[in-house]
Amino acid sequence: QVQLVQSGAEVKKPGASVKVSCKASGYTFTTDAIYWVRQAPGQTLEWMGWINTVNGNTKYSQKFQGRVTITRDISANTAYMELSSLRSEDTAVYYCARGRYGSGSYHFDYWGQGTLVTVSS
Amino acid sequence: QSVLTQPPSVSGAPGQRVTISCTGSSSNLGTSYVVHWYQQLPGTAPKLLIYGNNNRPSGVPDRFSGSKSGTSASLAITGLQAEDEADYYCQSYDSSLSGPVVFGGGTKLTVL
């Protein structure tokens, strides 16, 4: 069965960086894109960016451009999301999700369990 | 301020039918881009409920259905059950600088 398993919770100080991993199993990793979505406490879902797992091409939300880097390691069936210059507003649960394309847009059929990132001095 | 607008909350009694709306604009739902819906139970990751306006993934009960017309979309839940109490989010493609992935603000469904 398809699974996306993320790394564990992180506590970071303002200004630091965090790198979250997302290991895929149960399907061919390079078949689909991996998206990263975050959810601040009590807030809605917010798209951060995505990676083409075949060629490594990425696209980032304007909001996070310059602070977020998404990479992948095909040999490890794993995608990574690194967010730098952390501030308290970045405290959130970060999710990876598998993107499936159809009818002109992507939807997300499998999600990781989420990784809580807490930014606090 | 989310690009897609949803009511903050809806409620219904067990067995009833409820609908959740999702209103967009010409750069997303109004450009014939499809809408997708997710259910998020407390403390868990979102789960795909409806994709491509009105398609259910395997395992999703047919009590859940979706529709779209113009710049609006709706999720309908019939035969409401206590286990349906959750947050629901719509998602679509947006051709403006907000996109390409946009979500609604989310709707909390309370089963009375």
Between B98 and A113, the more confident residue is A113
A94 touches chain B (CB under 8 A): no
Q: List, as ranges, residues 26-85 from A with C-beta within 8 Å of B.
A: 35, 37, 44-47, 50, 59, 61-62
Average pLDDT over residues A67-73: 98
| Residue A66 pLDDT | 94
pLDDT tens profile A24-61:
999 999 999 999 999 999 999 999 999 999 999 999 99
pLDDT tens profile B52-92:
999 999 999 999 999 999 899 999 999 999 999 999 999 99
| Residue B94 pLDDT | 85
pLDDT at residue A18 greater than cutoff 80: yes
With CB atoms and an 8 Å threshold, state whether A106 touches B103: no
Q: Mark A27-52 as b/e (b = at least 16 C-beta within 10 Å).
A: eebeebbbbbbbbeeeebbbbbbbbb
Question: Considering only CA atoms, which of B12, B34, B9 is closest in space to residue B21?
Answer: B9
| Residue B28 pLDDT | 85
The percent of residues in chain A predicted with pLDDT above 90, rounded, is 95
Listing DSSP states for chain B in one string gives --SBB--SEEEE-TT--EEEEEE--TTTGGGT--EEEEEE-TTS--EEEEBTTTBPPTT--TTEEEEEETTEEEEEE-S--GGG-EEEEEEEE--STT-SEEEB--EEEEE-
| Residue A56 pLDDT | 96
pLDDT tens profile B4-31:
999 999 999 999 999 999 999 888 888 7
Nearest to A107 among B2, B91, B98 (CB): B91
**CA-to-CA dists, residue A120 to A9, A15, A66, A67, angstroms:** 13, 10, 22, 18
pLDDT at residue A93 greater than cutoff 80: yes
Structure tokens at A32: 């689909």
Average pLDDT over residues A68-93: 98
pLDDT at residue B95 greater than cutoff 90: no
| Residue B52 pLDDT | 92
* Nearest-Cα residue of chain A relative to residue B92: A105
Structure tokens at A29: 């990793």
Task: Count the Cβ atoms, other than its own, within 10 Å of residue B77.
Answer: 23
| Residue A43 pLDDT | 96
How many angstroms separate the CA atoms of B98 and B91, rounded?
13
CA angle B86, A37, B29 (to 5 degrees): 75
A102 touches chain B (CB under 8 A): yes
